[in-house]
Structure 1
Amino acid sequence: MLSRILTALTVIATASVVVAIPVEQVKRGTEIAPTIQVCSGAVGASGCISIPVVSDACINFVGGLTFLNKEVSAVVVPGGFVCTFAADFGCDIAQGGGVVLTSGTWSMAKVPGTAGFVNFNDQASSFTCSPL
């Protein structure tokens, strides 16, 4: 019994602690990193989160971002970036489709596709951004 308690205490003591860092404190060198705002509702509503843009990194809506999986309704892409939203995890648009958005505020209900505007509301599972 004592060994189980010690094992449990060891696991608790060595567990990683995740701390939320305000976006203003996320920095690259001496500059504040740009962020993309992703929303499960309208921009400015309670379901929005700002995510630091890490160039060419695929962000899957898992873990702390699970609430956004297949729930993204609006995004604000920072100036100077292009972001690709994919219907599947892994940012692969060939499998499940996706949309490419340049800087600005977008309602996912009407975003540019290859043959005109498309409805990509509540379809995204991942995204990646790159500088223009």
Structure 2
Amino acid sequence: MFGLKKTPPIRTLIGEGTAITGEMQFVEGLRIDGEVKGDIVATGEGRSVLVISDKAKVTGKVKADHVIINGLIEGPVEATQLLELQPKARIVGDVYYGALEMHQGATIAGGLHPLKNEDDKPALKLASNNG
């Protein structure tokens, strides 16, 4: 879908009940089930994936190639390739995306800003519960 290749492995987990303050940088994959106060930015070469679970809360900027959100983010979100907003996703801040998939129930309190792709047309897919 959307020309993405194999998803990188998730090598790091911030578990439920864990709270971190400060900027986080990661390569490949990161899953957050806890709370982070600070920016989370993917670095390095290659693809990156960031998963924000329904139990997670992030206060700060979020940036990765592929971002999957089902929790709360208070701050701007940038997904250079694909942003997936699951039903419990809540974003308070502007959203920048290469392609966007949004499920019913997800909310955004901020602006939507498509990043330019080859055709200068943003890719948008509305997800349905019917598969």
Choose between structure 1 and 2 for higher RCO, CA contacts under 8 A separated by at least 6 residues.
1
Larger relative strand fraction:
2
Do the two structures share a fold, i.e. TM-score over 0.5?
no
For the pair shown, the structure with the greater C-alpha radius of gyration is: 1
The two structures have a TM-score, normalised by structure 1, of 0.27
Larger relative helix fraction:
1
